[in-house]
Structure 1
């Protein structure tokens, strides 16, 4: 793994999430979807009233899944765009990419956090859009590159849910490697941690499990066997070891962590990032995997770690996707406005501060209380 470069600017656009947030108060640097449309997307003007029209046919939709467009920039260099997950289906990612006017042809890479279809289901749809966008660029005489699909190599044939020991539903892991190649994607498999986007985005390897209360996906199963002869069996798969997180280091701010589903536990994710980089955690983004009733007992120790044991505490936590209502209430109680209600269509800009890097206090490594 090469060194992770500190960036001067990070821009995140949420393209798929379970929630739509239009009216909640947001901190500086956060922008609601409606404001983006009205100020940047040339909304239609009513010929009689002269007022811009909220054309809701062109706004984002929510879906059970996650996708975030990550743009990193070092001053004096070109920005890099990568997509972290693609949501659950072909329709939500396609609609929302168009809605937010994403420059699709500039996306260098799609990182799939793990093999569950609510994170990988929109991959082929996005790659088809990418092919269309690059063909348009080629017709204009511009050079293009194929989009890389950054994947964990261990894609199971199927995953299942067995809350009482019997599989009650099968979960599609996402498209096969062959299907990805057929729509023009370049398959890269990485079981280990590595950097992408010219070293500005870190993608983890397997997340070490060290906490006593974060025990993976309860009732998780996967199918193993010989697909050709249609023989095999369901085996326990609670750890979801193919899960990976991403991180960006912003100058003078610290790490921004992207944890799409946190099957490994968000505390384990944060501990791993702190140990690897010895940098403060500025922002935690994504699903915290605390929504279902059988995970309620994980909420208190998770919130206690983020609010009290990690020092300095993160400036912002954005609980999304599978975090659940109860965890959001608990995080808001502990962190106040540091718990930010975020959803599809919201944009976040984190501006770095290089001058703070020279101040010794900022460089003090974070600590974790026992």
Structure 2
């Protein structure tokens, strides 16, 4: 009976997830800056934004715009993407912020440099409780102003750890603790409205889907090697570190673009990007048009995951994604492998880039459900 009720709720929630005719993504925080590499149609470099901005100074002697390098985005170890959706060509745009980067400086600087309006951002999604994704949250709320109406909804997983750390294998000794995430009380004090979700649900008028806990079904995707979680004693005076490779509070986001398919946002992919894609395909039976974000394949200890991941995306998933944007924690070796397999479908995205995806409503009915080749 419980399972049937759960399935009924999930079906209803999915019915609230609506396709959009227009999606724009602006990368506000990422590990990489990329000014010069050729990008596909629909992608623009940050430089183009500054050249077209009406506030850009024009040199009176030469008559051409001056690039103010003081205003360009800076890179940082983390991720944040601004998601702009239009349900129809005539509808008012709606804005969702997916993660907030690692600290108070990078997101604030990059928002100012790009001239991004803060008030229209109605929801901030925290993909998981790691400081490189939550560190800019309170500074964003301070910039927006805690008395600004309407207040911003902060969509989070309810299982917030006291602390997380790293213990390089084979030892269980924690060599460092990550900065603590903003508490629920701090978020409210800075003007946010906390909404806790551990199940999939639609936000921003149904334009953006936020997953629940991601099923772990892929054998080679075994989580964050060396991940540790601090568990305090009941009296709060002390506690102990326990192994936590599975970061079960991690969630992905998805936008369904008419005539194109799903755009998947996976900030860190501790669950494994194959697990993420499998869940989205099973849930929605829509082709994957684009994968955006960190694929968590950096470092020698994760090298053996690169080939099966690339093989899945390029061979086993049918059709393959049109674009994969490997960012944040993907790593150099994985980017090379993805480019070798996908060619121009592997896009070197970075902070300051903007992506525009326009839906094709008349072509939507012709999209075939994706399939996954048996291995």
TM-score (ref. length: structure 2) = 0.94
| Unaligned stretches of 5+ residues in structure 1 | 136-143
Give 1:39 deviation, angstroms. Answer: 1.0
1:77 matched residue in structure 2: 91
Query: SS at the partner of 1:22?
Result: coil
Of 255, 261, 280, 1:254 maps to 261
Of 207, 215, 227, 1:208 maps to 215
Aligned-partner Cα distance in 1 for 2:115–2:214:
34
Aligned-partner Cα distance in 2 for 1:227–1:46:
65
2:205 matched residue in structure 1: 198
2:251 matched residue in structure 1: 244
Aligned-partner Cα distance in 2 for 1:229–1:262:
31
Q: How many residues align?
A: 358
2:3 matched residue in structure 1: none
Change over 3 Å in CA distance of 1:188–1:344 after alignment to 2 = same
Mapping 1:323-362, distance limit 5 Å: 323-359=330-366, 362=367
Matching of residue 20 in structure 1 with residue 33 in structure 2: yes
Of 116, 120, 140, 2:130 maps to 116
2:291 matched residue in structure 1: 284
Give 1:227 deviation, angstroms. Answer: 7.4
Of 156, 161, 179, 2:161 maps to 156
Give 1:230 deviation, angstroms. Answer: 2.0
2:75 matched residue in structure 1: 62
Aligned-partner Cα distance in 1 for 2:55–2:233:
54
Mapping 1:90-129, distance limit 5 Å: 90-129=104-143
| Unaligned stretches of 5+ residues in structure 2 | 1-12
Q: Is the 8 A contact 1:155 1:173 kept in 2?
A: no
Aligned-partner Cα distance in 1 for 2:365–2:160:
44
1:234 matched residue in structure 2: 241
Matching of residue 272 in structure 1 with residue 279 in structure 2: yes
Give 1:63 deviation, angstroms. Answer: 0.2
Q: Is the 8 A contact 1:214 1:264 kept in 2?
A: yes
2:5 matched residue in structure 1: none
TM-score (ref. length: structure 1) = 0.95
Matching of residue 147 in structure 1 with residue 152 in structure 2: yes
Matching of residue 44 in structure 1 with residue 51 in structure 2: no
Aligned-partner Cα distance in 2 for 1:79–1:43:
25
Query: SS at the partner of 1:155?
Result: coil
Matching of residue 367 in structure 1 with residue 371 in structure 2: yes
2:6 matched residue in structure 1: none
1:182 matched residue in structure 2: 189
Query: SS at the partner of 1:110?
Result: strand
